[in-house]
């Protein structure tokens, strides 16, 4: 930006607008673009100088709801919001779904300020917070189950053991079934109790590639021994402040899910990737300031079916599973661990390509605690 049209008053205010993460555009009475901040330049894939040469209609689809929104603001003289609007076009890229906030400029008749918020990150954060809330529900349920179920189960198992000693050969399989099923229920409750563990996480600066290499070795020597696991790492990636064992658990779970999605499929591949993606910031529990989440870790597979579309919004909720005999706690626990580390996890899936993407903060020396 070269002038203060969006926010009159000088260079410092322009710098404030440029620091905002959301695209901000000042549109004139005839639809011309008067000014745009840095985020808008990135969003529309054009410099402010190029943007000023064209009307806003040049960059959005013909008949876009955004244009109607501008008209409504000018006619009413009040702010108008519109949510989940796809303004994608060949010029700025496909599937640009945004929330639009439009407001008139008090001292400039006909001028409208547009702020765009991409839905991808908003929904990602919302899903993460929903998963944390669901995890707290499971915590309460696990506490109740531990008291109301585990204690009676120990008595049932003990009685079955006594019966087995005096039972004949035909009845012993039944007593063994009782013991096996009680053990299975106890293990399920134990897994749920993990959600109620609120102890501080012991963290240390980690090279994520060391963690992923360990996961790869465990997978290829076990459940994924007949499958291909590729890697695409950014060798210059900063360290992450995390608990090594918990991250191994997270990625082992994701790789195991990918492996199961490829079961019986020829040419199935799992790919682990790491990258540095600056620019994403959000508030996390335990911190008053927004933190940056520049570290991106992905587990990708080319499973034919992918994740059913109706399950995607609830994939990290407890008891949601695509497996016939699954408990639905694995991905919920993954989401809890990543959330406890101040990160976010999401899943993008379509037939032939499923990606679990984790975003986490980079380690800052002196933050060890």
| Domain spans of the chain, in order of start | 11-118, 122-196, 204-360
Q: What digits encode the pLDDT tens for the residues 186-219?
A: 776 666 555 555 667 789 999 999 999 999 999 9
Task: Give the pLDDT score at 3.
Answer: 39
Q: Would you place residue 260 in the very low, low, confident or very high pLDDT band (cuts 50, 70, 90)?
A: very high
pTM over 0.75: no
Give the percent of the chain with pLDDT over 90.
Answer: 28
Lowest mean pLDDT of 24-28, 74-78, 96-100, 340-344, name the range: 96-100
Q: What digits encode the pLDDT tens for the residues 305-338?
A: 888 887 877 788 766 666 555 556 778 888 888 9
Task: Give the pLDDT score at 148.
Answer: 61
**CA angle (279 as vertex; 276, 282 as ends), nearest 5:** 110
For 332-343, b/e burial (b = at least 16 CB within 10 A) is bbbbbbbbbbbb
The domain 204-360 having CATH identifier 3.30.565.10: the answer here is: yes
> CB-based contacts of 344: which residues, under 8 Å, 6+ apart?
124, 125, 128, 282, 293, 338, 358, 359
HSE-up of 222 (CA within 13 Å, CB side)? 12
Q: Hey, which of 38-52, 149-163, 230-244, 334-348 has the most confident mean pLDDT?
A: 230-244
pLDDT at 8 over 50: no
pLDDT at 153 over 50: yes
Look at strands 228-232 and 269-276 and give their pairing: parallel
What is the residue-averaged pLDDT of the chain? 79
User: For the chain, how many residues are written?
Assistant: 369
Task: Give the pLDDT score at 132.
Answer: 52
Fold of the 11-118 domain:
Beta-Lactamase (3.30.450)
Q: What digits encode the pLDDT tens for the residues 121-150?
A: 545 555 555 555 555 555 555 555 555 666
Q: Assess whether the region 11-118 and the region 204-360 belong to the same CATH fold.
A: no
Give the mean model confidence (pLDDT) for residues 25-47. 89
């Amino acid at each position: 930006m070269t002038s203060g049209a969006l926010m009159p008053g000088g260079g410092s205010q322009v710098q404030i607008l440029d620091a905002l993460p959301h695209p901000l555009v000042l549109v004139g009475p005839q639809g011309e673009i008067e000014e745009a901040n840095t985020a808008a330049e990135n969003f529309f894939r054009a410099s402010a100088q190029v943007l000023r040469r064209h009307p806003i209609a040049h960059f959005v689809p013909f008949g876009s709801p955004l244009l109607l929104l501008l008209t409504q603001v000018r006619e009413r003289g009040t702010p108008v919001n519109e949510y989940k609007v796809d303004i994608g076009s060949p010029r700025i890229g496909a599937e640009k779904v945004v929330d639009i906030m439009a407001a008139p400029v008090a001292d400039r008749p006909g001028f409208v300020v547009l702020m765009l918020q991409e839905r991808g990150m908003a929904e990602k954060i919302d899903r993460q917070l929903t998963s944390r809330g669901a995890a707290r529900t499971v915590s309460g349920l696990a506490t109740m189950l531990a008291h109301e179920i585990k204690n009676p189960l120990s008595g049932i198992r003990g009685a079955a053991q006594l019966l087995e000693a005096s039972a004949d050969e035909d009845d012993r399989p039944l007593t063994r079934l009782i013991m096996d099923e009680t053990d299975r229920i106890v293990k399920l409750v134990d897994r749920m109790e993990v959600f109620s563990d609120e102890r501080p996480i012991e963290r240390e600066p980690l090279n994520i590639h060391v963690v992923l290499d360990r996961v790869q070795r465990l997978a290829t020597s076990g459940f994924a021994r007949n499958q291909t696991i590729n890697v695409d790492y950014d060798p210059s990636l900063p360290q992450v402040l995390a608990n090594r064992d918990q991250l191994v658990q997270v990625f082992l779970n994701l790789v195991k899910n990918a492996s199961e999605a490829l079961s019986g499929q020829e040419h199935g591949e799992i790919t682990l990737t790491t990258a540095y993606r600056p620019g994403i910031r959000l508030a996390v529990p335990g911190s008053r300031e927004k933190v940056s989440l520049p570290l991106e870790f992905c587990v990708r597979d080319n499973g034919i079916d992918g994740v059913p579309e109706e399950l995607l919004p609830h994939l990290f909720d407890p008891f949601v599973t695509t497996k016939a005999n699954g408990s639905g706690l694995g991905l919920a626990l993954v989401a809890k661990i990543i959330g406890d580390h101040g990160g976010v996890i999401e899943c993008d899936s379509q037939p032939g390509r499923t990606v679990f993407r984790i975003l986490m903060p980079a380690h800052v020396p002196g933050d060890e605690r």
